[in-house]
Amino acid sequence: ETGLFTYDPGFVATASCRSAVTYIDGDEGVLLYRGYPIEQLAKHSSFLETSYLLMNGELPDASQFAKFEHEVTHHTMMHEAFKSFLHGFRHDAHPMAMLCGMVGSLAAFYHDDLDLEDPEQRRLAAIRLLAKVPTIAAACYRHSIGWPIRYPRNNLEYVERFLHMMFEVPSGPLQLKPVAAKALDLLFILHADHEQNASTSTVRLVGSTGANPYACVAAGVAALWGPAHGGANEAVLKMLAEIGRPEDVSKAVDRAKDKNSGFRLMGFGHRVYKNFDPRATIIREMCHKVLSELGVDDPMLEVAMRLEEAALKDEYFVQRKLYPNVDFYSGIIYKALGIPTEMFTVMFAIARTAGWVSHWLEQQTDPEAKIGRPRQIYTGAATRDYVGMDKR
């Protein structure tokens, strides 16, 4: 009994934790952030306001939001020593490799503020992560293309500031179309949290040992990188490019049904949603709007729509309740915004940092929280005696 929901004992036994941050009903396609439907937050909120909600449990009033925005804005800078760290990476290092390393190293710069018994220091660490991950992400991109990094501009809002750090060039101001910042802000809202997904569970497992929040979020970045999780958006674009033409979609569907092919339709399926993923519905609608407002005619959109249409009609996918998930259309929008494919999962990590720090903060004040210790089914050898090398 949790007041709102009654869970059967079997479910309680498998649950990894208790949390009030996000609720998902996989059969009904429901996603609530602190009780607010994702559709309403997508329509009315901003990523920063949604981050406040996830971290604090309530929507902010005007003065609370102004204070929060001021704090985040004034923690976006990185220690100058980060530059030599960044330049130590090969230029062609995957941005997720750089992000993972650099987020984990934040603890080396802020170890004075790591008394996790102090709620103010915990809150400050969460603010620092929310503020600095976009700065680090943009710096990784700039390093990979050999451009000088751009410092965060405090006169810009969260997403605009990130886009300027990504794309502004010394030769002149960046001309940003309003739809670009709005589209990215909406994608960040949709990716901000998602209950106990693999990366968030990783953050909580690492957090349960008392590790610092920078190490926890670095572990979350590492888990998100996998193509079965956050790496799927990058894999979707590669898959669509490999399919190439709408007329080749049926071959891809057949290949995905062949167990021996090892090929899966990336961006399809979900462990919890056995109906539609509410985020995919919102992103699909936004995809058409963004491409038309940006004047982008991307043939991959046609391939994606035909693939979705074919899969949703195919018995194999219908039987297994495989629907497009959050990653299916997001990559097409990132591409239209000029974000390179290898940065797609970094985008996911920027947004999910809001969820990761919210779960970490919640865990730190949970009186029932204990060190995570998953058990196993042992399939190894029975007890046996040691045999000397000369007798083997």
Please give the single-letter amino acid code of residue 82.
Answer: F
Among 67, 44, 43, 45, residue whose Cα is nearest residue 54? 45
What is d(CA 332, CA 336) in angstroms, rounded to the nearest whole number? 6
Find the angle CA(136)-CA(341)-CA(301) to the nearest 5 degrees: 135
Q: Does the protein bind ligand SDX through residue 197 (CB under 6 A)?
A: yes
* Candidate list 164, 193, 327, 359, residue with the active-site label: 327
Q: Does the protein bind ligand SDX through residue 269 (CB under 6 A)?
A: yes
What is d(CA 26, CA 319) in angstroms, rounded to the nearest whole number? 16
CB of 143 to ligand SDX, least distance (A): 27
Q: Does the protein bind ligand SDX through residue 208 (CB under 6 A)?
A: no
Output phi, psi for 391, to 5 deg. Answer: -105, 5
Which of 144/233 has CB closer to ligand SDX? 233
Which of 182/229 has CB closer to ligand SDX? 229
Site for ligand SDX in 311-340 (CB under 6 A): 320, 322, 325-327
Q: How far is CA 35 from the centre of its chain?
A: 20
Which of 103/239 has CB closer to ligand SDX? 239
**Which of 194, 306, 335, 359: binder of ligand SDX (CB under 6 A)?**
194
Which of 29/267 has CB closer to ligand SDX? 267
What is d(CA 90, CA 282) in angstroms, rounded to the nearest whole number? 37
| Stretch of 74-82, 104-112, 181-189, 264-272 lying at the interface with ligand SDX (CB under 6 A) | 264-272
Task: Please give the full DSSP string across 12-59, using - where no structure is assigned.
Answer: HHH-----SSEEEETTTTEEEETTEEHHHHHHH--HHHHHHHHHHSS-
CB-neighbour burial class of residue 156 (10 A; exposed 0-12, middle 13-18, buried 19+): middle
Q: Does the protein bind ligand SDX through residue 31 (CB under 6 A)?
A: no
Q: Does the protein bind ligand SDX through residue 232 (CB under 6 A)?
A: yes
**Does the active-site annotation cover 115?**
no
**Does the active-site annotation cover 327?**
yes
Q: Does the protein bind ligand SDX through residue 192 (CB under 6 A)?
A: no
- Catalog residues that contact ligand SDX under the rule CB under 6 A: 194, 197, 228-229, 232, 256, 264-272, 320, 322, 325-327
Catalytic residues: 270, 327
